[in-house]
A and B are shown apart, each in its own frame.
Chain A
Amino acid sequence: MGKRSPAFYALALFFGLFIIFLYGPMITIFILSLQGPEGTLTFPVRSFGFYWLGQVFQEQRVGNFVEPFFRSLGLGFAVAALAIAASVPAALAFRRRFNGSNLIFYLTIASLIVPSVLVSLGIGITFQVLGWQTDWFSSGLGAHLTWTVPFAFLIMVGVFNRFNLSYEEAARDLGAHELMTFQEIVLPLIAPSLIGVLILGFTLSYDEFTRTSLVSGQHNTLPLEIFGMTTNVTSPALYALGTLTTLFSFSVIILALMAYQFVSRRQNS
């Protein structure tokens, strides 16, 4: 393709501006959260310090962020694990067409594109009609699965599409059972992708707001707690919390990429 043509520079500039658009706002709240006690919600930065980051861990007037964080953490991993448990077998089945596979495929897509407020409202109403108590680990978990399972499924279908069937056939010819073939051949080969899906599922759940908003019950997850904070906190503590939770997300992603590289490199050698 056009080696360093004018088009290249134009598009590179466009790309650069887009990245600034993407990250710029986030960087401003990073900067504003690193202020001293007299800091406010707007520029200019009055003094440098970690005062507001520390404030996040103090008992707040508006709530406590440590417990919701651990709730979201637990929920995220439960959702991710369940999403893998449900989607990997389903993606395996989708390597061959079967009667009704289209229906199941469209059901999966429907779960992605049904507006999230509907999922939340539906589960909330269902629990209310049945007289059950909503909770983040029951109704909240179910609501999160409707969002994470389709993603996990689509990724796994993609992974299996690029999967060489001859390894499995060889294992079967050597007399391996289906379960054995899966354990010994398929699982090690898809392991890097599983790490990716696990982290993807985790972050999707960790940051999910709308789907949990009506069904979390008495105890808030972290995004719900943050949303509550937006309406009644007017100090940079809000930015500090945003900075911390964003940095947490970043480190999870970096960890995931490192794990992915590590596993796939060990596989290749």
Chain B
Amino acid sequence: MSGSILCFPALSPEAYRDSVSNHSMCRGNTAICPERSYAIHQQILTMSLWKTIKPYLLVTPQTLVFLLFLVFPIVMIAIVSFWQFNGYSMVREFTWDNYATIFSSNVALRTYLNTFKYVLLVWFFSLALAFPVAYFLAFYVDSLRWKVVLFLVCTVPFWTSNIIRNISWLPLLGREGLVNQILMNMGLVQEPLEFLLYSDFAVVLGLVHLYTFFMIAPIFNSLMRIDRDLITAARDMGASGFQVLREVILPLTAPGMAIGSIFVVTLVMGEFLTVRLMGGGQSASVGKLISTQIGSLQYPLAAANAVLLLVVTLVMVTGILRVVDIRKEL
């Protein structure tokens, strides 16, 4: 409706009266009073103008938040990444050096590769954990009440501190931790296992522990939307349980898995907390590298790394989005 109203040209009263009285349908029709019709027309115009502006007014506060605290800071990072560094502060002069340093450095390359390794492992294990959990909740727990309660049980740790969740692995995995004590008492190992803590293993374990929730929620959401009649239909046509899973459920859950993957990939890409707390000296990630460079006030170099991190992350996200349009999921 608003579209057709918008097509009315905004005319002066005189021009409008002429156009109405000249119109073939109005000619000789005395029932339409041009003045009154003009007033209504104007009112409708104002209403439609309001309707056009309203959404923009409504999204203004949120958009301002993002412009001020997301877009502008990222633009600043991009600018600063081309500034020079004189050993203790930034110098506002153009240079390619920061990028040249990164691209010619073996350490940087290894750090990026190591980060990809974390991303791949954490993505795989969180998906492997999340799908059965969400599948169980969506299809095997009958009452809605229990579905919600058990889902909340999976959700609660997400609301607590990541630092504490990392720290809570220390008494389990350390040299004198519970796992080693149990293994030694059972005689399975003679020496305490060193790789359990302060290692890549610990980092991946910690990250899977932190972020599997981000997989469970969207997958559960997708599973809950599947029309149960589809499954009945597939069964009626003779599909086995496994075939139903592969041919019906998995394709319909793909968007949820994609959303979960985007979360996990981006969270792990920028991670430095877990790498610091649970990783060893060898454990490197781009996030940790950036935070170390900031620690030594090398802002331009940190900024250049941040720009690369962003580009790499966006490439990965675009890759995932190629597979699925997430707007349909909301």
Chain A residues close to B by CB (< 8 Å) = 1-2, 7-8, 11-12, 14-15, 18-19, 21-26, 28-29, 32, 41-43, 82, 85-87, 89-90, 92-94, 96, 98, 100-101, 104-105, 107-119, 121-126, 128-129, 142-143, 145-146, 149, 153-154, 157-158, 161, 200, 203-204, 207, 209-210, 213-214, 223, 226-227, 230, 238-239, 242, 245-246, 249-250, 252-253, 257
Contact status B70-A121, CB under 8 Å: no
Contact status A246-B136, CB under 8 Å: no
From known contacts A42-B174, A125-B76, A145-B65, infer whether A12 and B163 are also in contact, taking CB-CB under 8 Å.
no
CA distance A82 to B69 in the complex (A): 14
Contact status B61-A90, CB under 8 Å: yes
Task: Find the A residue at minimum CB distance from B231.
Answer: A1
Contact status B77-A250, CB under 8 Å: no
For the complex of A and B, the 9 pairs showing the least CB-CB separation, nearest first, are A115-B270, A122-B73, A93-B58, A25-B168, A93-B55, A142-B69, A242-B164, A11-B136, A90-B62
Question: Residue B299 at the A interface, CB < 8 A?
Answer: yes
Question: Residue B56 at the A interface, CB < 8 A?
Answer: yes
Contact status A114-B157, CB under 8 Å: no
From known contacts A85-B61, A89-B62, infer whether A96 and B55 are also in contact, taking CB-CB under 8 Å.
yes
10 contacts between A and B (CB under 8 A): A1-B142, A21-B129, A26-B164, A29-B167, A86-B64, A105-B327, A121-B306, A125-B299, A142-B65, A207-B162
- Collect the chain B residues with CB atoms within 8 Å of residue A43's CB: 171, 177-178, 181
Contact status A11-B135, CB under 8 Å: yes
Kindly state the interface size class of chain B when it binds its partner. Answer: 35 or more
Task: Find the B residue at minimum CB distance from A14.
Answer: B132
Contact status B76-A129, CB under 8 Å: yes
- Collect the chain B residues with CB atoms within 8 Å of residue A19's CB: 153-154
CA distance A240 to B269 in the complex (A): 31
Tell me the minimal C-beta distance from B163 to chain A in angstroms. 5
Contact status B65-A29, CB under 8 Å: no
Contact status A146-B74, CB under 8 Å: no
Number of A-B contacts (CB under 8 A): 253
Task: Find the B residue at minimum CB distance from A246.
Answer: B160
Tell me the minimal C-beta distance from B169 to chain A in angstroms. 5
Tell me the minimal C-beta distance from A132 to chain B in angstroms. 12
Tell me the minimal C-beta distance from B109 to chain A in angstroms. 19
CA distance A125 to B174 in the complex (A): 37
Tell me the minimal C-beta distance from B125 to chain A in angstroms. 11
Scan residues 226-274 of chain B and give those whose CB is less than 8 A from a CB of chain A: 231, 241, 262-263, 266-267, 269-270, 272-273
Give the residue of A24, A118, A203, A252 whose beta carbon is less than 8 angstroms from that of B306. Answer: A118
CA distance A249 to B174 in the complex (A): 27
Contact status B171-A253, CB under 8 Å: no
From known contacts A25-B209, A41-B170, A121-B302, infer whether A15 and B159 are also in contact, taking CB-CB under 8 Å.
no
Give the residue of A109, A116, A128, A252 whose beta carbon is less than 8 angstroms from that of B299. Answer: A128
From known contacts A12-B140, A28-B178, A93-B55, infer whether A121 and B161 are also in contact, taking CB-CB under 8 Å.
no
Contact status B72-A126, CB under 8 Å: yes
CA distance A43 to B156 in the complex (A): 26
Question: Residue B42 at the A interface, CB < 8 A?
Answer: no
Give the residue of A11, A96, A115 whose beta carbon is less than 8 angstroms from that of B140. Answer: A11
Tell me the minimal C-beta distance from B303 to chain A in angstroms. 7
From known contacts A89-B61, A118-B74, A210-B273, infer whether A28 and B163 are also in contact, taking CB-CB under 8 Å.
no
Of B4-12, B19-27, B286-294, the segment with at least 4 beta carbons within 8 Å of chain A is B286-294
Tell me the minimal C-beta distance from A243 to chain B in angstroms. 8
Give the residue of B136, B163, B177 whose beta carbon is less than 8 angstroms from that of A223. Answer: B163
CA distance A252 to B90 in the complex (A): 43
Question: Residue B317 at the A interface, CB < 8 A?
Answer: yes
Give the residue of A104, A110, A113, A227 whose beta carbon is less than 8 angstroms from that of B63. Answer: A104
Question: Residue B100 at the A interface, CB < 8 A?
Answer: no
- Collect the chain A residues with CB atoms within 8 Å of residue B66's CB: 107-108, 110-111, 146, 149
Contact status A28-B62, CB under 8 Å: no
CA distance A28 to B52 in the complex (A): 57
Question: Residue B14 at the A interface, CB < 8 A?
Answer: no
CA distance A11 to B152 in the complex (A): 18
